[in-house]
Amino acid sequence: MKLYDFTLAPNPRRVRMFLAEKGIEMPPTEQINTREAGQFSAEFQKVNPRGTVPALVLDDGTLLTESISICRYFEELHPEPSLFGRDAKENAVIDMWNRRVEIECYAPAADVVRNSLEIFKDRAIPGMPNGVPQIAALAERGRASVARFVGRLDQQLADNQFIAGDYLSIADQTAFITFDFAKRGELEVPADAKNIARWQSEMAARPSASA
């Protein structure tokens, strides 16, 4: 088993946090520096033609991309402590919240970052080395979407210790890496989102936060 990782990217961090929270030892890793176009090297394109990290290669050669799918693989092998839910309802509620964070917050935050930062000029979609021009209006739409989600999440965290309820789940980890990533697009959580601030400081205090 081998994990292709990049310590400065948000999605590989989610996998590392997940493994840390479950007490699973990190598999052998190789760093793919996506800030220096390492994902487009001939060598890595042979591993993952999509040009994204994280990527996990199993011992039988199976390639797993998509950080959440990689986390699900480890969850199945090491069920305790569960971060995807312990019964049908928890599974569904956690999956729903994880998707909401991804669709209503991560995706629009990525729209902001990829469509406004100079470093992503002409490559506004992950995995594409060039040919995808930035769209300023999409960055603007992304800002509004993130603000809308922040309001909803603050409300959810007023009544719940964690995002999906009174237990830590993958949805918390997705949100935690999202808010850190969003800072690259100058999307700070506003000071009046007090419940998010409370949750963020609890998340930051966990050893997994530095994974």
Binding site residues, its own copies, CB under 8 A: 58, 62, 64-66, 68-70, 72-73, 76-77, 87-89, 91-93, 95-96, 99-100, 107, 124-125, 132-133, 135, 137-138, 141, 144-145
Local structure of residue 156 (DSSP, 8 states): H
CA end-to-end span of the chain:
19
Toward its own copies, which CB reaches closer, 147 or 197? 147
- The H or E element that residue 202 is part of is helix 194-205
C-beta of 27 vs 206, nearer to its own copies: 27
Phi first, then psi: give them for residue 57, nearest 5 degrees: -105, 120
Give the phi and the psi of residue 96 in degrees, each rounded to 5.
-60, -45
**Considering the complex, what minimum distance in angstroms separates the CB of residue 134 from its own copies?**
9
Structure tokens at 88: 């049908």
Closest separation between CB of residue 195 and its own copies, Å? 17
Give burial (CB, 10 Å; 0-12/13-18/19+) of 141.
Answer: middle
Give 133 or 190: the residue with its C-beta nearer to its own copies.
133
- Indicate the residue type of 152: R
Residue recorded with tokens 């090297």: 41
CB of residue 52 vs its own copies: minimum separation in angstroms? 10
Residue type present at position 62: T
Q: How far is the CB of 95 from its own copies (least distance, A)?
A: 4
For 173, the token pair is 């980890």
Shortest Cβ 137–its own copies spacing (Å): 5
Which amino acid type is present at position 203? M
